[in-house]
Amino acid sequence: MGLAKRYRRRRDWALDGIDLSFRESSITALIGPNGAGKSTLIRTFMGFEAPTRGRALVMGTNPWRNRATALRHVGYVGQEAALYRDLSVDDHLAMAAALRHNFDVKDARRRVDDLGIPSDARGGELSGGQRAQVALAVALGTRAPILLLDEPIASLDPLARHNFLGILAASVRPLGTTVVLASHIVAELEGVCDTIVVLAPAKVMLHASIADARAQHVTVPAAAAGGSDVVSSFSRPDQSLVSLIRVASGGTASLDDLVLGYLTAARPSRSAA
């Protein structure tokens, strides 16, 4: 609650007054541009960053004060899969089993085998997509109730992104895992995630279920917009100027327009800061 973080050599805040709670068994898209604070927020949940103000809790545990207990509840995949170049896939599974007493080696190996990834292949021999899938198999093998994914698809090609997200959704939904998926790639997340958080620099601009957020917003030509319910006006990729407007119900806004609208709305406050 009231989570804030500022680094010593920076004048601006990396996070400023963040109040978020993630619904159990939800898959949340944490969307924002580079530098918005996505990684800082995830690292705070893992106990790798100390809040300047406020606190973070992971299943009731303060991760900065009791990191080991908090991390027992968490599986993690980063943008760069944390695999050792000279260790085989099987070596990584064995190491995970040694570090996490409840690690499901059979499940992780089955996931890797189903993808056709050789168990004796070394980390340095795998493609980016294969490395990401091995890291995901390890994270899922922990059976952790919370999965934190810090831009794991950012450097993957479109097919590898599609495969990663498909396996993620199919794996976590039956288990009821709570997932926070940080990304700045919007288009492919709508079919996977059920909740969205738009994080503009340091602040939460939108936090809602994707269904509710779409139903409560519409886009219209900017020339036809007016009133206090306008979130912002912005140019789409086709250069048409539109406005994102809040409505009580019956909206049809796309996920792309929601993100563009709220990120654009954050720009004046960023410039003033």
Query: What's the pLDDT at 149?
Result: 97
Closest CA to 146 of 85, 57, 80, 220: 57
Query: What's the pLDDT at 225?
Result: 87
Query: What's the pLDDT at 273?
Result: 36
Query: What's the pLDDT at 272?
Result: 37
> Are 51 and 218 a contacting pair, CB within 8 Å?
no
Q: Could you tell me the domains of the chain?
A: 3-193 (3.40.50.300), 210-272 (no CATH)
Cα 244 from chain centroid (whole Å): 24
What radius of gyration do the chain's Cα atoms show?
A: 20
Query: What's the pLDDT at 116?
Result: 95
In this structure, are strands 146-150 and 74-77 parallel, antiparallel, or unpaired?
Answer: parallel
Low-confidence spans in the chain with pLDDT less than 70: 268-273
Query: What's the pLDDT at 270?
Result: 43
pLDDT, tens only, 107-123 = 999 999 999 999 999 99
Closest CA to 109 of 94, 87, 126: 94
Query: What's the pLDDT at 188?
Result: 85
Q: What is the pTM of this model?
A: 0.92
pLDDT, tens only, 217-237 = 999 999 888 777 999 999 998
Query: What's the pLDDT at 268?
Result: 58
